[in-house]
Structure 1
Amino acid sequence: MWTTLAWGVVVLHAAYLVFQMCGGLLGFRDPRWLALHLMAVTWGITIVVMGWRCPLTVSEKWLRTQADGSAYSGSYLDHYLFGTYLPNGSQSLVYALHLLVILAIYAALAARWMQTRKTHPVHT
């Protein structure tokens, strides 16, 4: 049971990271998504900049300890991504690219918003 819950947290963590990077795209459908997305981005940036431990990683490690008494060391990304799929030492580059994707999405949203304002001006 503990192992299954731990894997559930792994999947939730992956979904959060995908939403954090690409969730702004939902703003093209409905701008109300942007408030939630901005909170996710702010939380992620804060964790990285402040060097805090992610509560999802802490939860997963606790569940793994309950399951078999052992948990990996380091962060979620260090364990599942760096050294496995990407080379160790590429963390700063990956974080920068992650942020660049977010900024590009918001730039596209801003351009669309500005175009919409030109073609449909607000009359007061």
Structure 2
Amino acid sequence: MQALSPAAAGSLADAILALHVGTVAFVVFGTLAILVGGPRGWRWVRHRSFRIAHLALMAFIALQAWFGQLCPLTVWEQALRTRAGQDAYGGSFVQHWLSRLIFFEAPWWIFVAAYTAFAVLVAICWWRWPPRRKH
């Protein structure tokens, strides 16, 4: 099996970063959609598959923060950037701007508190506007 070239590793790191941004967007905008759409009766925000994926992802994020672990997507992206000979978060245009959207410096406890609070909010949404089975 041929090793990954530095150019391919850089491109794959950019793709993983884009996936990471999409994951963050799914959690944040999904929560906003539930908070707005639940009271307004939007049926799609109560779709069972959407809600299970949303809750499970937020629970995973909060738990990994409690255990002091980095997101696997971050670990993979950084390893690929190293393989590509790039500094972490200092590579291509796509990587540079997408990183600025979702990464910032703060003490670890801030992230644990924020992820935990967000997970509690997602759980409250689950209780307040529970998912429904198809009829």
TM-score w.r.t. the length of structure 2 is 0.56
User: Percent identity over the alignment?
Assistant: 25
* 2:46–2:129 CA contact under 8 A, matched in 1: no
Q: Name the residue aligned to 1:40.
A: 57
Q: CA deviation at 1:111?
A: 4.1
- 1: CA distance, partners of 2:50 / 2:21: 19
Instruction: Give the alignment's Cα RMSD to 1 decimal.
Output: 3.2
* Count of paired positions: 103
Q: The residue matched to 1:22 in structure 2 has which SS?
A: helix
**Which is greater in Rg?**
1
- Cα gap change, 1:108 to 1:49, in 2 (>3 Å): closer
Aligned partners of 2:110, 2:15: CA distance in 1, in Å?
A: 27
Amino acid paired to 2:63: T
Greater relative contact order (CA < 8 Å, ≥ 6 in sequence): 2
Runs of 4 or more, structure 1, over 6 Å off, are none
* Per-residue deviation, 1:31: 2.7
Q: 1:37 to 1:89 in 2, by over 3 A?
A: same
For structure 1, the residue ranges without an aligned partner over 5 or more in a row are 73-78, 114-124
Structure 1 length-normalised TM: 0.60
Unaligned runs of 5+ in 2: 1-7, 35-43, 90-98, 131-135
